Amino acid sequence: MHAFIIILSILLLSFTLLSIVKHDYWTFRIFDYPRLQKLVLSIICVLLIIFFYQGPVLYNWLLTGLITLNIGYLFVQIVPFTPFGKKQVLRITAAIPEQSLSIMIANVYQDNTNSKGCLQEIQKSDPDLVLLLETNQRWDNETRELEKRYGFHVRVPLENTYGMLLYSKLELKDPAVLYLVEKDIPSIHTGVILKNGMRIQLYALHPTPPVPNENPRSTERDKELLLTADLAQQSKDPVIVIGDMNDVAWSYTTELFLKMSGLLDPRRGRGFFNTFHAHYPVMRFPLDHAFISTDFKLKHIKRLANSGSDHFPIYIDLQYEAKASIEQEAMEPDAEDIAVATEKKQDITSD
């Protein structure tokens, strides 16, 4: 038990320190993900030290102090995504259907064959927009019946797990498929016309994750997010950015994206809404996101039922309110944030 406690303490402290290092390599970025798991293990670890550690008193106090500091750090990082945190996005006070927009985001998992289950979940939630990710030609064929209810669509089926299908009941204005960073990783950029005739700007993304079997660095993911942040900042229309970002809500990169884009995260102050991994309850992270400009308020957000994918779909219902920007405040970048973002974007031209 003595050796186990020391090894566990060292590992937990190392995992936290590695996640603090702002390096793009996957061995650092992957430890951004299990922050809640590290917190729970750290609490267990400090209890083990208090009740079972039999080493020298100095070591006892040192381990207890370090793990307690680790708990404090992790707790501060996680609190904003619990009901105890401050809400970035406020609830609506009165429904205005003509200014509303509901969205379902679903990474279907390309090898998943339960397209009927996915279609049933879409029918059940009945969103205005549906974004399906990891969709290849088979998924495109098996979900074509969505055209009956969704008169507007942008389809980019690919066999590399980065295909995407966007279906909309609302008119899509000037839709475009762009490859911002990598030639085989698309994103969909389109205007969406609300029922009252107002145009909003939608960006649908699915950048690559920093994992050894796909991309050993987070560089390309970070570039795509920051390029989209620039587009959002420059847009004259209200903005919504949706997709599987392959990044957790509390990471430095996601926070940098929010600061540089001026967008808000509806999760903050409400909960994790973990979407991945659907089959491993103790290892779940919030990877699928909807970020919105300050002129939107929230009607509803929820995680939907899984239908064979490794991701849960997520559903969000929003409402445009012109006065919302006065009541809601985006995070501001400091000089260091701007320098980091500028450096990451400059790398695009040098790759």
pLDDT tens by residue, 56-101: 778 788 889 999 999 999 999 899 999 999 999 999 999 999 999 9
Cα separation values, 76 from 10, 253, 343, Å: 21, 17, 28
Sign of CA pseudo-dihedral 77, 81, 86, 87:
positive
Scanning the chain, the segments in alpha helix (DSSP H) are: 2-20, 26-29, 35-52, 57-78, 115-125, 137-142, 219-234, 252-261, 324-327, 335-350
Dist. CA 67–CA 50, nearest whole Å: 11
Is 89 part of a structural domain of the chain?
Answer: no
Over the stretch 1-24, which tens digit does the pLDDT of each residue have?
A: 778 888 999 999 999 999 888 888
Angle at 174 between CA 173 and CA 180, to 5 degrees: 125
Domain end point (choices 52, 81, 110)? 81
Is 86 part of a structural domain of the chain?
Answer: no
Is 108 part of a structural domain of the chain?
Answer: yes
User: Do both 339 and 248 map to the same domain?
Assistant: yes
Note the pLDDT of residue 351.
43
Domain that holds residue 7: 2-81
Note the pLDDT of residue 347.
62
User: Do both 210 and 336 map to the same domain?
Assistant: yes
User: Do both 64 and 129 map to the same domain?
Assistant: no
User: Do both 142 and 23 map to the same domain?
Assistant: no
Instruction: Say if CB 307 and CB 124 are below 8 A apart.
Output: no
User: Do both 65 and 153 map to the same domain?
Assistant: no
Asked if pLDDT for residue 336 goes beyond 70, the answer is yes
Cross-strand pairs, 288:
244
**Mean confidence (pLDDT) of the chain:** 93
User: Do both 236 and 265 map to the same domain?
Assistant: yes
User: Do both 64 and 173 map to the same domain?
Assistant: no
Is 39 part of a structural domain of the chain?
Answer: yes
Dist. CA 180–CA 193, nearest whole Å: 24
User: Do both 335 and 311 map to the same domain?
Assistant: yes
User: Do both 167 and 279 map to the same domain?
Assistant: yes
Sign of CA pseudo-dihedral 183, 227, 348, 245:
negative
pLDDT confidence band for 349 (50 / 70 / 90): very low
What is the number of structural domains in the chain? 2
Over the stretch 121-171, which tens digit does the pLDDT of each residue have?
A: 999 999 999 999 999 999 999 999 999 999 999 999 999 999 999 999 999
Q: Work out the average pLDDT over 279-303.
A: 96
Asked if pLDDT for residue 217 goes beyond 90, the answer is no
User: Do both 315 and 283 map to the same domain?
Assistant: yes
SS3 (DSSP) at 335: helix
Is 250 part of a structural domain of the chain?
Answer: yes
Is 16 part of a structural domain of the chain?
Answer: yes
Instruction: Say if CB 194 and CB 320 are below 8 A apart.
Output: yes
Instruction: Say if CB 133 and CB 107 are below 8 A apart.
Output: yes
Least-confidence region, from 111-120, 186-195, 209-218: 209-218
Is 340 part of a structural domain of the chain?
Answer: yes
Dist. CA 292–CA 294, nearest whole Å: 7
Is 335 part of a structural domain of the chain?
Answer: yes
Domain end point (choices 51, 81, 111)? 81
Domain holding 107: CATH number? 3.60.10.10
Domain end point (choices 48, 81, 114)? 81
- Residues near 69 by Cβ (< 8 Å), separated by ≥ 6? none
pLDDT confidence band for 211 (50 / 70 / 90): confident
Cross-strand pairs, 215:
211
User: Do both 278 and 191 map to the same domain?
Assistant: yes
User: Do both 44 and 118 map to the same domain?
Assistant: no
